[in-house]
Amino acid sequence: MEHGDALFIPGAFWHFNRYLEPGFSLSLRALPNKPNVFANMLYHVFIMRYTDKLMRKLFKAKWVNYKQKWAYKKSSKALANIK
């Protein structure tokens, strides 16, 4: 993908992509109307985001590699369940 490109990923689908630089992405399409979904959104926006930032500072490439392996494993498992 190039700068400014958009990628559509349907809701609740696991996906894997490799960034050129470490990062954290979050998609929020609409404000959740269910309490548990709303709480999950708050957790990711206010806690997980900063936890990831801290872990990148502390563990650098080791943390990024761990996240990539975890994401690949989860996406592979989801794909296997589709077949």
Q: Please state the rounded mean pLDDT for residues 68-74.
A: 89
Burial 7-19 (b: 16+ CB within 10 A, else e): eeeeeeebeeeee
Res 66 pLDDT > 90: yes
Q: pLDDT tens for residues 15-37?
A: 777 777 766 676 767 888 899 99
Residues 61-71 as b/e (b if ≥16 CB within 10 A, e otherwise) read eebbeebeeee
Token readout for 22 is: 């470490």
Residues in the chain: 83
In the predicted structure, residue 83 carries a pLDDT above the cut 70: no
Rounded mean pLDDT of 56-70?
Answer: 92
Predicted TM-score (pTM) above 0.95: no
